[in-house]
Structure 1
Amino acid sequence: MVDVLIEFWQSTGFANMTWQHAVMLFISCVLLYLAIGKKFEPLLLVPIAFGMLLTNLPLAGIMEIGETVLKALTPETAGETARMMAGPSIDIMLEGIPAQIYTKTPGGLIGYFYMGNKLGIFPPLIFLGVGAMTDFGPLIANPKSLFLGAAAQFGIFFTFIGAILMGFNAQEASSIGIIGGADGPTAIFLTSRLAPHLLGPIAVAAYSYMALVPIIQPPIMKALTTKKERMIKMKQLRPVTKVERVIFPILVTLLVSLLLPSATALVGLLMFGNLLKESLVTDRLSKTAQNELINIVTILLGISVGASAQAEHFLKLDTLQIILLGIVAFGVGTAAGVLLAKLMNKLMGGDAINPLIGSAGVSAVPMAARVSQVVGQKENPSNFLLMHAMGPNVAGVIGSAVAAGVLLSLFN
């Protein structure tokens, strides 16, 4: 009886818990508190944090990848193969010889979800939903905001250089730098192609910083602007016609995809989603992209991103360096957008732009735009910056996809 109890105890997660597991479980609980208690982007942070909790439960095997075996068959081995099979099999002909593909070990549930990240399927689908949810009107009405979105991508290339100096190769540095775009899908898409071994920590860092935009950005914005600048009221944007709204996604797809074919999957799906919205003839498809599709993909992507933060892989020096470089990239991108907005005010000889909207050039849509609105209204309750901030915010989404295309073209 004692032996049975000892064997049972040894099969439990309690008996196999390490300090690394305990640390990661604590971090997951902190993130859940921020998401639920403080309401910091719960749609992102709750799935990520719970995925992190699940993957660090000892012996749960939730992120294991099943082992698939290809075996040629002869009459003598067919019976043996059938006995070895632990899952479904597929009969094929391999150069005229009968063979079977079968699953030797089944793998964990979230391990299969994670393949959507690893194969680059989920990020473009997220972009499809974002495009269908986003109003590109502020960018079309104020094309100057495109420069603010471009400036915020400076954090990507600044951090790329920093990562190179810290000993990462060009592919790894590109994947780390893209965190500065504050665009989780783009970070996953690029890393899955250039540095798949870093996909876990980079995805967690990118999505965590996106969720923590309300904490990270305001101190940087306030440090780089004066009270007078934060109180600037901007002129109302001009109305945008339906023709402009329909032509814009088609034109952007053509220009970006012809210049950077490697960015087509991201930019193309983003613009396709927006075209569904603006054409006004595909209402059902647009609503599906805005609601059911993006919600389902967000759940699968979020929980699998969190589950990639396994204690044995996450608590390492390289991961800590990635987390550190990620916050540097995000901070530099935010600062670059604010500083360019200040410079544009000087060059335009007036107070045409509130510098706070420059911080929205990072592509965390619409979180960064909302932060610009909140910080601006604290200084001047009658100031409404949200629609003005959406211009650089949308430009940042396009800019991060373009930056990813540039890095793919150079280092793939």
Structure 2
Amino acid sequence: MFLQVIQNFWSSTGYVALTWQHLVMIAIACFFLYLAIVKQYEPLLLLPISFGMLLTNIPLGGLMEYPVYEIGADGLPHMTQLGGVLYYLYQGVKLGIFPPLIFLGVGAMTDFGPLIANPRSLLLGAAAQFGIFTTFIGAVALGFTGQEAASIGIIGGADGPTAIFLTSKLAPHLLGPIAVAAYSYMALVPVIQPPIMKALTTKEERMIKMEQLRPVTKIEKILFPILVTVLGALLLPSATGLLGMLMLGNLFRESGVVDRIFKTAQNELINIVTIFLGITVGATTSADKFLKAQTIQIIALGMLAFAVGTAAGTIFGKIMSKMTGGRVNPLIGSAGVSAVPMAARVAQVVGQKENPSNFLLMHAMGPNVAGVIGSAIAAGVLLSIFG
């Protein structure tokens, strides 16, 4: 009797169903946890994603199990088994709820003043989106469908919520590897970008000091999110969800009349949604879906997208520097890949190494926030074509 109890208990443990694929995924999850905790690479997102990856690869855990329905005598479906807790939280990703809420918080935390003060930096943000469409072509050439290629290409925007939003609409079966690639490259911005920036610029260009930005009035800051919403939504209605929530969060910030919900949007709300988004996206990386040759292709294409975006922004920065007689430091163009505010900080660090009196951070924030808008618009273009 006692032996039977032990056998029954053992057969119910995850050890019985553990495979080498599960062990590989657990090892990958632990590696990402190391990057998040020890190296502090984008820990707010990488930590919940990697822990979700860990949870979903525990055999028999059932956290992402679908609910089970059976047709009853009345001819209607009746639930006979509940789904896993992460399955229900995942509906916020699947239904496109979490990414716009993240954008609401990002808008509340973002100062669009540098972009308003220097509207030309919008062009740098647009140039950096070149990586999205270059990688789209490469993915199609490798045999991915248009929807899959669009979802892979958006990694080049270096904007995790946008990548998740578009992928959940066009290629939900690729959500795990695309999200992991997007957030991994966002976390590795300080490692990936500097070599590209240095290879494409001269020491003299990196030393260029830029003039101080003009002061931006309060009325400009209030009108900006309203105008961007109207013009952007009319041009690309499919981008209204992301763009509109980004601008609403910014209007909370700049209006000065909704202090309570402004603070909630930039703190409690975005923190809660980030936890739910990260852990459920990580939970989509089960061994049977993630350990495929296709995943390696996606990660490689994601690196291409990010590298091309960085290069395109930097090259356009060089062009702008020539056209303005050397008044623009081309390093700020690399910040157009989004990844707010890390990409702007990288431009500042690289520029200051060449010239300790160089302060590029606020100048780089213009292309940086333009990149956020640009990635949302790019997602809207792709969604309108392939959605």
Tell me how far apart the structure 2 counterparts of residues 106 and 116 of structure 1 sit (CA, whole Å): 17
* 1:36 is aligned to 2:11: no
Q: In structure 1, what residue type is equivalent to 2:334?
A: S
CA distance in 2, matches of 1:196, 1:39: 29
Larger radius of gyration: 1
Q: Which runs of 5+ in 2 are unaligned?
A: none
Is the Cα–Cα contact under 8 Å of residues 320 and 330 in structure 2 kept in the other structure?
Answer: no
Which residues in structure 2 correspond to 1:217-256 (within 5 Å)?
217-256=193-232
Q: Does 1:389 align with 2:359?
A: no
User: Which one-letter code corresponds to 2:24 in the other structure?
Assistant: V
SS of the counterpart of 1:14? helix
Alignment partner of 1:171 out of 132, 144, 147? 147
CA apart distance, 1:379: 2.3
Q: What's the CA shift string for 1:64-100, capped at 9, x where partnerless?
A: 1223456462xxxxxxxxxxxxxxxxxxxxxxxxx76
What TM-score results when the alignment is normalised by the length of structure 1? 0.91
Per the alignment, residue 119 of structure 2 pairs with: 143
Contact 2:100–2:241 at 8 Å: present in 1 too? yes
2:47 corresponds in structure 1 to 46
- SS across alignment from 2:78: strand
2:164 to 164, 183, 188: 188
Unmatched runs of 5 consecutive residues or more in structure 1: 74-98
Q: CA deviation at 1:227?
A: 2.1
**1:303-352 CA distances to partner (integer Å, 9 max, x unpaired)?**
11111111110000111111111111011101100111011111222x21
Structure 2 residue matching 1:384: 3-state secondary structure: coil
Indicate if the aligned counterparts of 1:40 and 1:214 stay in contact, CA closer than 8 A.
Answer: no
Which residue in 2 is equivalent to 1:77? none
2:355 corresponds, among 380, 383, 402, to 380
Cα distance in structure 2, aligned partners of 1:205 and 1:387: 28
Indicate whether 1:25 and 2:29 are aligned: no
User: Is 1:298 equivalent to 2:274 in the alignment?
Assistant: yes
CA contact (8 A) 2:112 2:366 kept: yes
Cα distance in 2, alignment partners of residues 189 and 295 from structure 1: 18
Residue 348 of structure 1 is aligned with which of 324, 349, 357?
324
Q: How does 1:42-191 map to 2 (within 5 A)?
A: 42-69=43-70, 71=72, 73=74, 102-191=78-167
Give 1:57 shift.
Answer: 1.1
Correspondences of 1:220-369 after superposition (within 5 Å): 220-349=196-325, 351-369=326-344
**Structure 1 runs of 4+ with >3 Å offset:** 1-4, 68-72, 99-102
Helix, strand or coil: the match of 1:104?
A: strand
Q: Residue type of the partner of 2:374? A: G
Offset at residue 9 of structure 1 (A): 2.3
1:391-412 deviations in Å (ceiling 9; x for gaps)? 0011001001111111111111
Q: Residue 373 of structure 2 aligns with which residue? A: 398
- SS of 1:40's equivalent in the other structure is coil
User: For 2:71 and 2:211, how far apart are their aligned partners in 1?
Assistant: 66
Alpha-carbon contact 2:207-2:329 (below 8 Å) kept: yes
The C-alpha deviation readout for 1:216-267, integer Å capped at 9, x for no partner, is 2122112222222222211110000011001110000011100111000010
Return the letter of the residue paired with 2:182: A
Aligned-partner Cα distance in 2 for 1:397–1:382? 28
Q: CA deviation at 1:104?
A: 2.1
For residues 72 and 104 of structure 2, the distance between their equivalents in structure 1, rounded to whole angstroms, comes to 40
Give the TM-score taking structure 2 as reference length: 0.96
Match of 1:78 in 2: none
User: Percent identity, aligned pairs only?
Assistant: 73
Instruction: Give the deviation of 1:209 after TM superposition.
Output: 1.6
